[in-house]
């Protein structure tokens, strides 16, 4: 579909997660604060992945367990494994919670199997499970994806998501079709169409995105993504537009993303902005800052202006035995923004490596009390070790 509002027909029915979640700082503005952190994570994505997932490699087989302990919350434990054998990769994640008997019991599990069919095709199957009150594992969702590529760089991805009904039968509820085409030597376009079940056995298109990506000669990447949704009258309208620019200079990188949304009269205006700066010193120390701005922040008196609502600072250092990553979140007081930003959380990730391939990882989250003194809100530990051939699991046949 183009952007001038052409109508779409309904298609015929055919047969067809590794990171520690950042702790929520105290005194946040609810949903707004969660949105801010999500945008900040997207701002300098590569740095954030490295910070939160140290020593994770897709070329190795490993298993790791994380013990999670939050104040005034039931302890939990997460076990993950990554198995790579030839053209097949299996990733599993199981979450267990502490029961009333003091023993851990399984709560949920996700298994993702990826198979490289040939040089042009890859298939991915993801199964999600939960445990009921009787200790039985129940399949709740299945996502199937197939991606095919061509020699010139074009690709097509087909993805379907099925949920279990009350009788345990899988019903397709969502389909996605994504086509990527090269539009020039340094440019490509991706169009994604999302269809949802309409409740009567068919599917209706719920949204479409158009993403244009262009690489400049000066190591600059420009991305423009437009999201369209039905307007209720049989036509389509722009729901959101994102303009992102990434500029790299040597070891340094700058990322800026602007999100625009229509006002009551349908005119696009800037809704939020994220600016990220990433630097690396000659000795390998990395520092990243992500500033997030929003328009019309609660408590502000100058409506329509952009206000900085969060700064996320990440510093990553290497030591003789591992890595240390420190993150700090600064936010204004939601009750009185004019007070200026204050540190609302501190998170430290420490990784220690052993010659045997075993690594010990810890994560500590601190937040301030009413007097501004920081105390430990949560402390997680994780142990990772290579998987021996005898431990390699077989793909589930559920």
Report the chain's mean pLDDT, rounded to a whole number. 82
CATH of 31-391 among 3.10.20.310, 2.40.160.10, 3.65.10.10, 2.102.10.10: 2.40.160.10
pLDDT greater at residue 223 or residue 152: 223
The answer for residues whose C-beta is within 8 angstroms of residue 240's C-beta and 6 or more apart is: 226, 227, 259, 260, 261
List the helix and strand counts (H, then E) for the chain: 2, 20
Instruction: Give pLDDT, residue 34.
Output: 37
Instruction: Give pLDDT, residue 398.
Output: 44
Residue 335 predicted with pLDDT over 90 = no
Longest dimension (CA), the chain: 65
Residue 203 predicted with pLDDT over 80 = yes
Instruction: Give pLDDT, residue 340.
Output: 81
Angstrom distances, CA of residue 222 to CA of 59, 80, 273, 395: 30, 35, 15, 40
350-378: average pLDDT = 87
Q: Are 124 and 112 in contact (CB under 8 A)?
A: yes
Q: Which of 65-79, 126-140, 185-199, 319-333 has the lowest mean pLDDT?
A: 65-79
Confidence of residue 217 (pLDDT cuts 50, 70, 90): confident
Instruction: Give pLDDT, residue 58.
Output: 43
Instruction: Give pLDDT, residue 383.
Output: 75
Tens digits of residue pLDDT in 64-90: 888 877 666 788 899 999 999 999 999
Instruction: Give pLDDT, residue 73.
Output: 74
For the chain, the domains span: 31-391
Instruction: Give pLDDT, residue 8.
Output: 40
Residue 343 predicted with pLDDT over 90 = yes
Whole-structure pTM over 0.85, yes or no? no
Tens digits of residue pLDDT in 239-296: 999 999 999 988 899 999 999 999 888 899 999 999 999 999 988 899 999 999 998 7
Region of residue 5 (left: phi > 0; alpha: psi -120 to 50; beta: else)? left
Confidence of residue 201 (pLDDT cuts 50, 70, 90): confident
Tokens 């095919």, residue?
A: 148
Confidence of residue 358 (pLDDT cuts 50, 70, 90): confident
- Helix ranges (H only) for the chain are 31-43, 45-52
Q: How far apart are CA 221 and CA 77, in angstroms?
A: 40
Structure tokens belonging to residue 262: 């229509």
Q: How far apart are CA 65 and CA 260, in angstroms?
A: 41
């Amino acid at each position: 579909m183009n952007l001038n509002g052409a109508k779409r027909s309904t298609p015929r029915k055919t047969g067809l997660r590794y990171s520690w979640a950042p702790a929520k700082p105290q005194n946040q503005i609810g949903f707004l604060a969660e949105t801010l952190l999500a945008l900040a994570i997207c701002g300098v994505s590569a740095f954030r992945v490295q910070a939160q997932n140290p020593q994770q490699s897709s070329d190795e087989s490993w298993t790791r367990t994380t013990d999670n302990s939050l104040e005034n919350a039931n302890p939990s434990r997460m076990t993950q494994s990554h198995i790579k054998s030839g053209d097949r990769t299996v990733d599993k994640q199981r979450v267990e919670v502490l029961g009333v008997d003091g023993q851990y019991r399984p709560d949920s599990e996700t298994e993702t199997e990826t198979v490289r069919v040939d040089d042009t095709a890859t298939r991915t199957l993801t199964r999600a499970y939960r445990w009921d009150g009787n200790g039985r594992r129940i399949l709740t969702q299945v996502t199937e994806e197939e991606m095919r590529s061509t020699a010139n760089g074009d690709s097509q991805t087909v993805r379907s998501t099925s949920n279990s009904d009350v009788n345990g039968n899988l019903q397709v509820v969502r389909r996605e079709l994504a086509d990527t085409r090269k539009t020039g030597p340094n440019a490509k376009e991706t169009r994604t169409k999302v269809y949802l079940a309409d409740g009567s056995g068919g599917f209706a298109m719920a949204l479409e995105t158009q993403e244009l990506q262009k690489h400049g000669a000066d190591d600059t990447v420009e991305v423009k993504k437009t999201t369209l949704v039905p307007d209720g009258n049989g036509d389509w309208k722009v729901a959101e537009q994102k303009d992102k620019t990434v500029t790299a200079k040597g070891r340094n990188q700058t990322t800026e993303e602007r999100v625009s949304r229509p006002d009551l009269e349908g005119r696009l205006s800037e809704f939020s902005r994220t600016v990220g700066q990433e630097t690396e010193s000659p000795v390998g120390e990395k520092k990243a800052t992500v500033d997030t701005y929003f328009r019309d922040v609660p408590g502000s008196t100058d409506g329509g202006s952009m206000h900085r609502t969060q700064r996320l600072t990440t510093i990553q250092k290497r030591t003789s035995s591992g890595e240390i990553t420190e993150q700090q979140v600064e936010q204004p007081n939601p009750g009185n923004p004019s007070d200026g930003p204050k540190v609302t959380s501190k998170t430290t990730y420490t990784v220690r490596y052993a010659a045997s391939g075993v690594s010990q990882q810890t994560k500590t989250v601190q937040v301030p009390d009413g007097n501004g003194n920081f105390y430990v809100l949560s402390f997680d530990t994780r142990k990772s070790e290579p998987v021996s051939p005898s431990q390699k699991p077989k793909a589930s046949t559920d």
